[in-house]
Amino acid sequence: MILPIAFIFLSAAAGVLLQTHGALILEVKSSGQPLAQVEVIAGGRTAVTDARGQAALQLPAGDFEVAIRRFGVTWQSFRASIVEGAETRVDVDLHLEAALREEVTVTATRTERRIDDTPLRVEVLQREEIEEKALMTPGDIAMLLNETSGLRVQVTSPSLGAANVRVQGLRGRYTQILADGLPLYGGQTGGIGLLQIPPLDLGQVEVIKGAASALYGASALGGVINLVSRRPEQAERELLVNRTSRSGSDAVLWLAQPLGNRWDATLLGGAHFQEHQDIDADGWSDLPGYRRAVVRPRFFWDDGAGRSIFFTAGATIEEREGGTIGDAVMPDGSSFPEELDTRRFDAGFVGRFLVGGRVASFRGSVMTQRRRHLFGESAEHERRHTMFGEAALTGATGKHAWALGAALEANLYRNREVRRFDYIYTAPALFVQDDFTVSPRLTLSGSGRVDFHSDYGTFFNPRLSALIRLPRNVTARFSTGAGVFAPTPFTEETEAVGLTNVLELRNLEAERAWGGSADLGWRLSNVEFNASIFGSIIRNPVLLRVRPEDAPLEIVNAAGPTRTIGSEFLTRLRAGDFGVTLTHTFTRSSELNPNEGVRSEVPLTPRHTVGIVGVWEREGRGRIGVEIFHTGRQPLDDNPYRAESPPYWVFGLLAEHRVGPARFFINAENLSNTRQTRYDPLVRPARGPDGRWTVDAWAPLEGRVINGGVRFSF
């Protein structure tokens, strides 16, 4: 008897609610395009627009003040009348802010929010910075990344110029480099890959510092660098020609063309040459020689209603040489030439489609690379293949913007001479992410990923982040998360000496990390300040141990963790045509030395780095830039000349002048002519226990370099 009465009562109450309430339905657009993740607030209730730009609120009958809030667009409010039992539909067109702050959308986080809305801190290098660095080094992105706070491009093989990028003091193998969200350069970008990526076709670079395995799996323990391509809306033609005082040459062509039916295409082509240079006249190449050709077409389709398709393919062919030059010999009387020939091809796609108000995305890529590496009289021929696929669904429900999906990555490696290191592994994964807008001032984000690695087992990596908007334009971000790295034979040392004298991998465990950061930012229209602290601990770190036997090298898990702490400070000032950027990074990182069994600082990690960059730029006329960088003392490993490097300064100057369709530029790097070989020889008095003839590079090897050229737009 009680249940029927309760049912009748609830039904009557629901009927009254439906009669006394109505629905407010909004469709939000910007420049004619649906705008997702816009907060709609009325009557103490909040909704968030979905991929179609739509949101709905159930409200009592009456008049309400409706507020629409979205960072990156002009906030609006209006009054709406809600009628009992009826729908009130409102179309809203939001306009981009006209302030100096530019609209930046971050794609490295799966919900693709504006940078101001992202709880996880993502740093974005925009087109202006990329264009400036493209005039300095048109053939690679090494300088672009090295002059970014918290990043350090470390030379891993002085003889061939190989380098990787360290994020907040962590070794370069922990950094995942993506192109438009795809691992086009392989799951683990080798030391040369970083030097083969021209910056001219990049629209922005997104950097996530710290463990990012919750987003990108077992290759992103230290962080992620996502290279986002340019996507112009009209036809463009650019040709850049460059020549350096160290006998280097670059020619880069960039084309963009609408194809019709909402299709657009771009093409990048580059030819790069460098003669090897023996700057200190010791018979050893301080600046390696190379010949490289790069081509990359891209195709885009966008229907303007939330559906898009992107295709790309690329080819890189390079021949690189270093080591002894001509008849020069090493201290033991032998010659030691080094060569590295690379053939790399890749292809990838990204598709986005609307499914019931949600966005279904699919992406995939394949990369194949062949290399021949000569170390003196020893040669290694290797093949690497990486395949990647992912399917994801993203949407907005109430105050939540979420994503869930599945991914699969497969890697294959073959070495003709050293078969014991051949491997093939697969790593399927499931991931989920939720960004919860608790209030206009607080957003929380949680993500988790489970990887099922065929060799190292199952890993779960969570990450939690929070964004707090404080009064007076102050924001605070807090983030903590886990990371994992699946060991391979490739470390900074083995990339330099090869695998011939390395023992087979035995009983290795995956490297596991946990890190966190806190960030405080303040920004007005012409001033920006940011301060952050960070820390991480890596358990089971993989290091190279020297053995006294005939096979002297062994890759092992260190008995103790690697610990890193640090801080970053950044200030940007803008006044009319002038801009100044000031940065300081403090890093302290220690590890357990596997050879001596004692804890010591991680080699080649300066505690202090300082950057001062000043720019004057006027649209249509040109720009002048001045750069000053300071690198503090660095601990050195197995260096017969010194245990710690001295601090040094590097100065640079750039000038560009526009004349019609041509922009003439000249750039001077390292005006102080700071060079490592002015302090000590690069070549060791005897071959090292790991087989290397050189010490580590802790300062520039090329000294002062002046380059200049012209950039045509037609």
pLDDT one-digit tens code per residue, 474-490: 999 999 999 999 999 99
Instruction: Return the pLDDT at 81.
Output: 82
pLDDT tens figures, 603-647: 999 999 999 999 999 888 999 999 999 999 999 998 999 999 999
Length of the chain: 714
Query: Is residue 420 classed as helix, strand or coil in its secondary structure?
Result: helix
pLDDT at 220 over 90: no
Report phi then psi at 213, rounded to 5. -65, -25
Q: Which of 64, 94, 124 is the last residue of a domain?
A: 94
Instruction: Return the pLDDT at 440.
Output: 84
Residue 362 token pair: 């699919």
E-state strands within 602-640:
608-618, 622-631
Q: How confident is the model at residue 374 (pLDDT cuts 50, 70, 90)?
A: very high
Angle at 335 between CA 329 and CA 341, to 5 degrees: 135
Q: Would you say 699 and 631 are in contact if contact means Cβ atoms under 8 Å apart?
A: yes
256 and 403 belong to one structural domain: yes
CA dist 706 to 130, 136, 651, 669, Å? Answer: 19, 9, 12, 6
pLDDT at 8 over 50: no
Q: How confident is the model at residue 23 (pLDDT cuts 50, 70, 90)?
A: confident
Pairing label, strands 662-669, 622-631: unpaired
Is 339 part of a structural domain of the chain? yes
Counted domains in the chain: 2
Q: Would you say 121 and 479 are in contact if contact means Cβ atoms under 8 Å apart?
A: yes
E-state strands within 398-495:
400-415, 423-439, 442-453, 457-470, 474-485
pLDDT at 540 over 90: yes
Amino acid 252 reads V
Residue with tokens 């039916």: 261
Is 127 part of a structural domain of the chain? no
- Could you tell me which residue, 464 or 85, shows the higher pLDDT? 464
Q: Which of 42, 68, 94 is the last residue of a domain?
A: 94
Instruction: Return the pLDDT at 356.
Output: 78
659 and 510 belong to one structural domain: yes
Q: How confident is the model at residue 189 (pLDDT cuts 50, 70, 90)?
A: low
Would you give the distance in Å from CA 462 to the centre of its chain? 20
- Could you tell me which residue, 535 or 102, shows the higher pLDDT? 535
Is 418 part of a structural domain of the chain? yes
pLDDT at 2 over 70: no
Is 209 part of a structural domain of the chain? no
Question: In terms of Cα–Cα distance, which of 526, 520, 558 is closest to 539?
Answer: 558
Is 239 part of a structural domain of the chain? yes
Residue with tokens 């293949």: 385
For the segment 304-319, the average pLDDT, to the nearest whole number, is 91
For the segment 555-580, the average pLDDT, to the nearest whole number, is 95
Q: Flag the least confident range among 97-106, 350-359, 518-527.
A: 97-106
For the segment 497-521, the average pLDDT, to the nearest whole number, is 93
d(CA 538, CA 565): 12
Q: How confident is the model at residue 98 (pLDDT cuts 50, 70, 90)?
A: very low
Is 355 part of a structural domain of the chain? yes
pLDDT at 18 over 50: no
The structure's pTM equals: 0.86
Is 247 part of a structural domain of the chain? yes
Q: How confident is the model at residue 14 (pLDDT cuts 50, 70, 90)?
A: very low
d(CA 145, CA 125): 9
Which residues, at least 6 apart from 302, have a Cβ–Cβ distance to it below 8 Å?
Answer: 262, 308
d(CA 411, CA 425): 6
H or E stretch covering 319: strand 308-323
- Could you tell me which residue, 440 or 452, shows the higher pLDDT? 452
Report phi then psi at 91, rounded to 5. -100, 130
Which residues, at least 6 apart from 207, have a Cβ–Cβ distance to it below 8 Å?
Answer: 122, 123, 124, 125, 148, 150, 151, 167, 223, 224, 225, 226
Residue % of the chain over a pLDDT of 90: 62
Burial (CB count within 10 angstroms: exposed 0-12, middle 13-18, buried 19+), residue 17: exposed
Query: Is residue 131 classed as helix, strand or coil in its secondary structure?
Result: helix
Would you give the distance in Å from CA 137 to the centre of its chain? 18
Q: How is 79-122 classified by DSSP, letter by letter?
A: EEEE-TT-EEEEEEE--B--SSSPP-B--SSTT--BGGG-SS--
pLDDT at 13 over 70: no
d(CA 294, CA 198): 8
For the segment 193-213, the average pLDDT, to the nearest whole number, is 88
Residue 273 token pair: 């040459």
Give the domain CATH number at 68: 2.60.40.1120
pLDDT tens figures, 635-681: 999 899 999 999 999 999 999 999 999 999 999 999 999 999 999 99
Burial (CB count within 10 angstroms: exposed 0-12, middle 13-18, buried 19+), residue 429: buried
Query: Is residue 13 classed as helix, strand or coil in its secondary structure?
Result: helix
Q: Which of 94, 116, 147 is the last residue of a domain?
A: 94
Is 2 part of a structural domain of the chain? no
H or E stretch covering 27: strand 21-30
pLDDT at 541 over 90: yes
Q: What is the DSSP letter of 341?
A: E
pLDDT at 192 over 80: no
Average pLDDT over the chain reads: 88
Burial (CB count within 10 angstroms: exposed 0-12, middle 13-18, buried 19+), residue 516: middle
pLDDT at 437 over 70: yes
d(CA 608, CA 2): 75
Q: Domain containing 40: what range?
A: 21-94
Which residues, at least 6 apart from 555, have a Cβ–Cβ distance to it below 8 Å?
Answer: 487, 489, 491, 494, 502, 503, 505, 508, 542, 543, 544, 545
55-60: long-range contacts, CB 8 A cutoff, minimum separation 24: 55/25, 55/26, 55/28, 56/23, 56/24, 56/25, 56/26, 57/23, 57/24, 58/21, 58/22, 58/23, 58/24, 59/21, 59/22, 59/23, 59/24, 60/20, 60/21, 60/22
Q: Would you say 168 and 210 are in contact if contact means Cβ atoms under 8 Å apart?
A: yes
Give the domain CATH number at 586: 2.40.170.20
Q: Which residues of 171-203 are buried (b: 16+ CB within 10 A; e: fewer)?
A: bbbbbbbbbbbbbbbbbbbbbbbbbbbbbbbbe
